[in-house]
Structure 1
Amino acid sequence: MTHPAPRPTGHSHPAAPTAHGNHGHPAPGQGAALPDGLAEMLDLDAGLFAPHIAGLTGRIARLARGPVTRVVDLGAGTGAGTLALLERFPGARVTAVDTDPDMLARITATADARGLGARVRTLEADAGAGLPGVEDADLVWASASLHHVADPAAALAVVRAALRPGGLLAVAELDGLPRFLPDDAVPARPGVEERCRALLDAVHAEQVPHLGADWSALLAAAGFAVEEQRTDRLALSAPLPEGAGRYAHLVLGRIRAVVEDRADPADLAALDTLLDGGPQDVRHRGDLVVRSTRATWIARRPAA
């Protein structure tokens, strides 16, 4: 899950770039190891925004027609979505799909540890190429994963074929990495976070062009009926949940790695003061706010 060399339906996670400027996973077929801290960052994101995820799964449950027993988590990452879906739909079995076997092994271990192993199947696959053995699903969940696909139309056709008539597809996307600090967080370099974010957005425009796509139009073109669309602007402020400072540190560290060759050296130095353990470090600031914009679409494969 996160953002440079985009990987089709990778992990379910927020935009979390690696030093290459993508989302934090290797390109398909490279088999590279996950960047340090990525799994932790994904789990922290899921914990911090758990109420948002619970709200989305609740809306899906209200739109479902009949029982939800066959679920696909597309780009499952560390399995946060899989676990949320198992909780929301206690009669369901979830197929967790990802291109990274290490992530899938992690999901299996977590499910087994929680006594849920019998309800979880893993599938190493790229949805852009097909989902072997997946059919008649009641629900496909794609959280922060579809923007990685090289060809959205082809991927949506695969998803549509995997759903039963009347089944639902839930797409959740972000506008990029969360924001954390006021403009004057580093008095000597006001606005440093926004300037680095602008540089990161330029990288994403080059390497992850479907980030921020109009999924309403893409879903309609693929033969889905969009039944709900909404955008939530989330903000977590003091008292912050546990892990918020560590989350900010991991995300800003990845931003720094991506923009290192593009940013003004003075901005890099200012960013370093937010990461170096000193008095301005994000892990113990009182002015930290975790802001994230998350868009969701719930669409149905028509019954006819």
Structure 2
Amino acid sequence: MSHASPHTAPDHQAGHGHAPHASHSQPFRHDADGEAEILDLDAAVLAEHIASITASLPLTAEPRHIVDLGCGTGTGTFALLARFPEAQVTAVDTSADHLRRLREKAEAKGVADRVRTVQADLDVEWPDLGAPELVWASASMHHMADPDRTLRAVHDLLAPGGLFAVVELSGFPRFLPEDAPSERPGLEERCHAASERHHAEHVPHRGADWGPMLTGAGFAIEDHRTITVHLDRSHSDAVGRYALHSLRRMRDTVTQNLSAEDLDAYDQLLDTESPRSILHRDDLAVRTERTVWAARRGD
């Protein structure tokens, strides 16, 4: 199971063995700490949107036990704890580092007694997760090796009448105007095209319509909506850092398909010492979409 962000984060898959561009090194390789940082930035920038999703869930009663699949560093976990003050959350992820960070934040927020962490790879084996009334999976389902098997497992896991909330990415967020940067206009769109080609091969379920698969697993779809996000830099002082770390993580998946000129411009954006650094731009905005399916267990 992926340890991608549990709500709205970019797809943080690492590169799959692509060689560096012939005339460039790769100075921006990421690690677990880098991934954790971007998950936390994602939470800071998009907190209001996460809260709006949790508030709109078609629940018949407030859940007392929630499972967060692919919890990352806890963004979804803490949004759910805030929305449902009587609930306990079981947070599941493959990454011990992310779960440690989540526990530290739970202690700092005074909610450690309401959080249980479980390290597990659900493509291999499902631990005992109880019988929750709500299962939350955001930016994680598309990483499953066998999504149909996972959906059936969630259906069987839920308490009778329980709800499964799937929040999925429409793609990698965009940050720059179409005519930027001035020396290579349209660079970001070319990067997105390259990234989409990469993910079509390596993450084939990203962008899937989960409705038919949920229905096939025995769920009844009760809500299906697409949420558009457009936040300019005035919304949060974290937008610049969010853009920087997001584009750093995207770099490995696009280098083979960029010209030398494009890659030079890309690296200027990532170079915090450069006057062309993305951190110096005042025209940034976070533009993305998330699709939400809320599905009831059929009994």
TM-score after normalising by structure 1: 0.89
Q: CA deviation at 1:218?
A: 0.8
Counterpart residue number, 1:235: 230
Q: Is the partner of 1:260 in helix, strand or coil?
A: helix
* C-alpha separation in 2, matches of 1:148 and 1:287: 32
* C-alpha separation in 2, matches of 1:276 and 1:182: 19
Task: For structure 1, list consecutive stretches of 5 or more residues without a partner in the other structure.
Answer: 1-7, 23-32
* C-alpha separation in 2, matches of 1:14 and 1:160: 27
Task: For structure 2, list consecutive stretches of 5 or more residues without a partner in the other structure.
Answer: 19-29
Q: Is the partner of 1:185 in helix, strand or coil?
A: coil
Counterpart residue number, 1:298: 294
* C-alpha separation in 2, matches of 1:109 and 1:101: 12
Q: Which moved more, 1:127-136 or 1:277-286?
A: 127-136
Counterpart residue number, 2:43: 46
1:219 to 214, 218, 228: 214
* C-alpha separation in 2, matches of 1:93 and 1:21: 40
Counterpart residue number, 2:22: none
Say whether residues 1:275 and 2:270 are aligned partners: yes
Counterpart residue number, 1:25: none
Q: Which moved more, 1:46-55 or 1:258-267?
A: 258-267
Structure 1 residues 1-34: Cα deviation after superposition (integer angstroms, max 9, x where no partner)? xxxxxxx242324213434389xxxxxxxxxx94
* C-alpha separation in 2, matches of 1:180 and 1:143: 21
Counting matched residue pairs gives 284
2:257 to 262, 275, 284: 262
Say whether residues 1:190 and 2:185 are aligned partners: yes
* C-alpha separation in 2, matches of 1:91 and 1:97: 20
The amino acid of 1:37's aligned partner reads G
CA contact (8 A) 2:195 2:254 kept: yes
Q: Is the partner of 1:127 in helix, strand or coil?
A: coil
Say whether residues 1:136 and 2:131 are aligned partners: yes
Structure 1 residues 29-67: Cα deviation after superposition (integer angstroms, max 9, x where no partner)? xxxx9445211111111111111111111112xx21223
CA spacing shift, 1:93–1:262, aligned 2, 3 Å: same
Q: Is the partner of 1:165 in helix, strand or coil?
A: coil
Structure 1 residues 186-230: Cα deviation after superposition (integer angstroms, max 9, x where no partner)? 222111110011001111001000000110111011110110001
* C-alpha separation in 2, matches of 1:269 and 1:240: 29
* C-alpha separation in 2, matches of 1:55 and 1:156: 24
Q: Is the partner of 2:293 in helix, strand or coil?
A: strand
Highest relative contact order (Cα 8 Å, sep 6+), 1 or 2? Answer: 2
Q: Is the partner of 2:48 in helix, strand or coil?
A: helix
Trace 1:46-195 onto structure 2 (pairs within 5 A). 46-60=43-57, 63-195=58-190
Q: Is the partner of 2:275 in helix, strand or coil?
A: coil
Q: Is the partner of 2:294 in helix, strand or coil?
A: strand
* C-alpha separation in 1, matches of 2:16 and 2:249: 10
CA spacing shift, 1:21–1:212, aligned 2, 3 Å: farther
CA contact (8 A) 2:32 2:97 kept: no
CA contact (8 A) 1:9 1:127 kept: no
Counterpart residue number, 1:14: 10
Q: CA deviation at 1:252?
A: 1.1
Q: CA deviation at 1:183?
A: 2.2
Q: CA deviation at 1:250?
A: 0.7
Counterpart residue number, 2:241: 246
* C-alpha separation in 2, matches of 1:18 and 1:170: 26
CA contact (8 A) 1:139 1:163 kept: yes
The amino acid of 2:117's aligned partner reads T
The amino acid of 1:297's aligned partner reads W
CA contact (8 A) 2:194 2:254 kept: yes
Structure 1 residues 250-279: Cα deviation after superposition (integer angstroms, max 9, x where no partner)? 111122222222211111011122122323
The amino acid of 2:64's aligned partner reads T
Q: Which moved more, 1:229-238 or 1:275-284?
A: 275-284
Counterpart residue number, 2:284: 288
Q: CA deviation at 1:134?
A: 1.5
* Alignment RMSD (CA, Å): 1.7
